[in-house]
């Protein structure tokens, strides 16, 4: 998909599901809670690229205690739009997680396959503790049993864009979560 003009770009943005102010309020609450829970502990926030980078950046600014950030990239789609169930780590963490309380910061939990595998891999590295915080949870799509420790929003089964989530690499910069309109 190549978008060549603003009108085409905007035509694909359907209704806003979660506003910018709702996201900011939820981030503030989450940052306060994590700051209390991990005060005085070595904390590592791990973003699963690419979609979670916006969420990580804003959550990190809401956390008032010292923390480090790390990045991983995992893929399970391989040229398509449906997960094939095999997870490949395409970029791994630089940090030794055994020295940290680790929080995986994820943009959306859909089938749960990728995140369940990432959690399994990180647990094998013996972090001091491991928690998953997700911006969006779509439990109706789950194919493996997986629950985040913290979900900021639960959404129905819509294809969503914005706030780091994309369609064809577009729409990540939207400050809200919107439903994507595929039928034009």
β-strands 129-137, 150-154 pairing: parallel
Q: Enter the tokens of residue 54.
A: 């916006």
Q: Enter the tokens of residue 163.
A: 């706030």
CA separation for the pair 102, 97 (Å, rounded): 7
Q: Which residues are catalytic?
A: 110
Q: What do you get for the CA distance between the two ends of the chain, in Å?
A: 13
CA separation for the pair 126, 101 (Å, rounded): 10
CA separation for the pair 80, 68 (Å, rounded): 33
Q: How many CB atoms lie within 10 A of CB 7?
A: 8
Render the burial of 35-58: b for 16+ CB within 10 Å, e for the rest. Answer: eeebeeeebbbbbbbebbbbbbeb
DSSP state of 173: T
């Amino acid at each position: 998909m190549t978008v060549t003009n603003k009108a085409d770009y905007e035509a694909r943005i359907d209704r806003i599901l979660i506003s910018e102010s709702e996201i900011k309020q939820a981030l503030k609450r989450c940052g306060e809670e994590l700051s209390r829970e991990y005060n005085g502990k070595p904390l590592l926030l791990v973003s699963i690229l690419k979609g979670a980078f916006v969420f990580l950046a804003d959550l990190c600014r809401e956390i008032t205690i010292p923390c480090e950030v790390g990045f991983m990239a995992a893929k399970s789609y391989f040229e398509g739009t449906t997960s094939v169930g095999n997870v490949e780590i395409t970029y791994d963490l630089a940090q030794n997680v055994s020295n940290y309380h680790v929080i995986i910061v994820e943009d959306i939990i859909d089938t749960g396959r990728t995140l369940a595998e990432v959690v399994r891999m990180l647990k094998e590295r013996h972090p001091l503790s491991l928690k998953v915080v997700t911006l969006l949870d779509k439990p109706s799509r789950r194919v493996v049993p997986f629950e985040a420790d913290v979900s900021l929003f639960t959404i129905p089964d819509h294809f969503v864009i914005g706030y780091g989530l994309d369609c064809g690499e577009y729409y990540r910069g939207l400050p809200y979560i919107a439903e994507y309109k595929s039928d034009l």
